[in-house]
């Protein structure tokens, strides 16, 4: 089967007051914590089942909901080494670096940015399917999904990635927690989860 399968994980802190300390910085880095971000793992659809198996192997022993920076350095190095075996097309982490209060849908903003640039630029030229972890969030309703950037052109959009491909959904969520330490160089190369992938981008809205 040709084309790609995209796994999307949303980080939504727009309704939280505890996402930063009194200086407006995240608890673990000197950079302001983004209120909203979208993490995407793209896999060649023809290797989807293999990717799920290898992702399950790579995450063996990790507790559900594990936070990358909270793992011991030795565990991070081991996971990075195992994740290298997961077939993939590319990974992208897009932070909503504008005021979410001025946006009707931070998720739509991130989807639009994802479709237009970064490691996944041009991915919509071939058929693709989308799996969402945690369902639709970020100001986007089910009715909106039909016209949302990126989602509108998908062969199908599934809001239940955890039920269909639990390991790839977990890996995408783990990548979301690994983005800040990667951007801030808070971990060494051997402990940077994004270095396990051949192609990736990290940054703000395009």
CB 173 within 8 A of CB 133: yes
Give the per-residue pLDDT at 137.
Answer: 59
pLDDT at 112: 86
- Reduced to 3 states (helix: H, G, I; strand: E, B; else coil), residue 84 is coil
Beta bridge partners of 6: 42, 130
Q: How many domains does the chain have?
A: 1
C-alpha angle 124/12/146, rounded to 5°?
Answer: 40
pTM for the structure as a whole: 0.87
Question: What pLDDT shows up at residue 53?
Answer: 98
- pLDDT for the residue numbered 66: 94
pLDDT for residue 19: 40
Tokens of 181: 């330490």
Low-confidence ranges of the chain (pLDDT < 50): 17-28
pLDDT of residue 102: 75
CATH at 169: 3.30.420
Q: List the domain range (segments joined by +) for residue 194.
A: 4-204
- pLDDT of 114: 85
What pLDDT is stored for residue 177 in this prediction?
94
């Amino acid at each position: 089967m040709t084309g790609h399968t995209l796994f999307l994980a949303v980080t939504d802190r727009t309704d939280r007051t505890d996402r930063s300390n009194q200086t407006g910085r995240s608890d673990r880095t000197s950079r302001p914590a983004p209120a909203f971000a979208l993490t995407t793992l793209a896999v060649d659809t023809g290797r989807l089942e293999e990717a799920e198996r290898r992702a399950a192997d790579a995450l063996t022993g990790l507790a559900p909901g594990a936070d990358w920076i909270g793992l011991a350095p030795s565990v991070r190095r081991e996971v990075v080494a195992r994740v290298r075996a997961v077939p993939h097309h590319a990974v992208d982490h897009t932070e909503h670096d504008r005021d979410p209060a001025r946006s009707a849908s931070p998720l739509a903003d991130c989807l639009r940015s994802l479709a237009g640039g970064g490691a996944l630029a041009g991915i919509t030229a071939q058929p693709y399917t989308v799996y969402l972890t945690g369902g639709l969030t970020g100001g986007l309703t089910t009715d909106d999904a039909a016209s949302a950037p990126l989602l509108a052109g998908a062969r199908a959009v599934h809001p239940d990635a955890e039920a269909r491909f639990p390991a790839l959904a977990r890996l995408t969520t783990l990548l979301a927690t690994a983005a800040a330490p990667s951007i801030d160089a808070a971990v060494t190369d051997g402990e940077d989860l994004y270095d396990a992938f051949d192609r990736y981008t990290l940054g703000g809205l395009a």
